Structure 1
Amino acid sequence: MGFIYNGISSKNMKIKARLTSWQASPALRNSYEMVPGKAGVADFGCDSSERIIIVNCNVYPQKSFADLVDVLDGLAEWLNPMNGLKQLVLDDIPDRYFYARLTEQVDCERLLRTAGAFDLKFICPDPHAYALTDEQFTISSEGNHEIERLTGNADSEPVYQLKGTINSSSSTYISITTNGEELRVVGALTADEVLVIDSGLVTAKITDINGNTLRNGLPGLDELNFPVLHKGDNEITITVAGATFSELRILAKSRWR
């Protein structure tokens, strides 16, 4: 077993890695409140905290201790947490990735004169794992549509790419209703522009057909009601008033809890 971090494999760094434990679900942040005169506590629900991934590593015997230090120097440069979060893919779970960085120092224990062992402790501030090969859907007509998410086990925060034409009149719009929640687009949009709505980043932008950003898309939304897709069936309704709808492309951003 090994892992890929920031596009580089542990095997290429002369490191053998394996998982000896797995956090089946991330830690929870519980919200309780004591109520005077009532036994127990009032439960206001919970949310997920960060995920911790621990990888056990070994460096095979090198020709000299200096060569062992060279391997560890390369590791320190490769996994430098000062560079921020990077994509982490574990060989044992090759269909998903995490955004992670080291959260503790790395102390190498010398097993032999030129070999060593150490643990890498990664923190994932976003506890979800995301699909490396994701589901995509395209809707090209008005009315009711059903799409089915098969990947992952949690609600996802998709990216919507809307094509159509909307003038600046207050009476024209394109409405996208996802599982009963409406997102109404009222801002101006031309036929050679794309409105990109990112629920994960809670933002929107307008690009040209080549993906170059032209302007902020948030002013074109009637309200900030970003869509969420469930695992399984989802109902999406396209309604148009005084505008032209061309296409809605959906990147599911499928994920695991």
Structure 2
Amino acid sequence: MIGFKYRGKHCSEFGVTLLSYTVHSPELRESEEEVSGLPGTIDYGTEWGKRGIELRIDITPTSDAFKLQQSKILNWLKPTLPAGLLVFDELPDRFFYAKFTGRLGTEQFGYYGTFEFSMKCTDPFVYGPEQILEQTITGNPESIFVVSAGTEPAYPVIRLQNAGINMINGFSLTIISEVE
């Protein structure tokens, strides 16, 4: 069964089956200004906005009473909480920071069946597992290559630790990157 995990709980724990989902491209925020007397516009740049995710689910009866099952699902999706990790079974090594948006109220919950709802990601990026590279530097100079497996260029976080008792003087670090 294809499903999803949200806030550390799999949808199957609530009698929810994922029928389909669509991950939309992030919205764009374009900053521009029209100035009277000048042709065209002044472009101040473009930034990523939020990303929407549409889910279509099927709710099947569980051993719980319907009202209790309904309450558990609504509490799991609670939109007043901060964004939680959303992981689809098809992409177990990628996750979104998402939160429920729109409606899935009691009027839509009148019976068991198929429902559609939305989630929003105010952080538009898809994340993968943290990659840790440990390497001992023995030469001078020495190069270490760190490659991001993501689709969005990103700078690495570098932490240096001296495991010896000798002081390291005149140390410099240079990051040569193709990040635009």
- TM-score, normalised by the number of residues in structure 2: 0.79
- The yes-or-no answer on 1:14 pairing with 2:15 is yes
Partner of 1:161: 159
**CA drift at 1:140:** 2.6
Moved over 4 A (4+): none
2:146–2:156 contact (8 Å) kept in structure 1: no
Q: 1:120 aligns with which of 117, 122, 145?
A: 117
- Any residues of structure 2 matched to 1:164-243 within 5 Å, and which? 164=162, 174-179=171-176, 230=179
**CA drift at 1:26:** 0.2
Partner of 2:166: none
* Distance 1:140-1:78 versus aligned 2 partners, 3 A rule: same
Q: Can you give the 5+ residue segments of structure 1 that lack an aligned partner in the other structure?
A: 166-171, 181-228, 232-257
Deviations 1:145-197 (A, max 9, x none): 242525211122533222139xxxxxx664322127xxxxxxxxxxxxxxxxx
1:89–1:98 contact (8 Å) kept in structure 2: yes
CA distance in 1, matches of 2:20, 2:171: 48
2:52–2:118 contact (8 Å) kept in structure 1: yes
**CA drift at 1:72:** 1.4
2:27–2:51 contact (8 Å) kept in structure 1: yes
Letter in 1 for 2:5: I
CA distance in 1, matches of 2:84, 2:20: 19
CA distance in 1, matches of 2:100, 2:171: 44
- The yes-or-no answer on 1:102 pairing with 2:103 is no
**CA drift at 1:90:** 1.2
SS of structure 1 residue aligned to 2:32: strand
* Distance 1:174-1:101 versus aligned 2 partners, 3 A rule: farther
Partner of 1:78: 76
Deviations 1:102-127 (A, max 9, x none): 122313646xx851332232111111
**CA drift at 1:27:** 0.3
Partner of 1:56: 56
**CA drift at 1:29:** 0.6
2:15–2:61 contact (8 Å) kept in structure 1: no
Alignment root-mean-square deviation, CA: 2.8
Deviations 1:223-247 (A, max 9, x none): xxxxxx859xxxxxxxxxxxxxxxx
CA distance in 2, matches of 1:61, 1:73: 13
CA distance in 2, matches of 1:120, 1:94: 21
CA distance in 1, matches of 2:161, 2:146: 22
Q: How many residues are matched?
A: 171
* Distance 1:173-1:107 versus aligned 2 partners, 3 A rule: farther
Q: Name the % identity.
A: 25
Q: Can you give the 5+ residue segments of structure 2 that lack an aligned partner in the other structure?
A: 164-168
2:29–2:47 contact (8 Å) kept in structure 1: yes
CA distance in 2, matches of 1:56, 1:6: 18
- TM-score, normalised by the number of residues in structure 1: 0.57
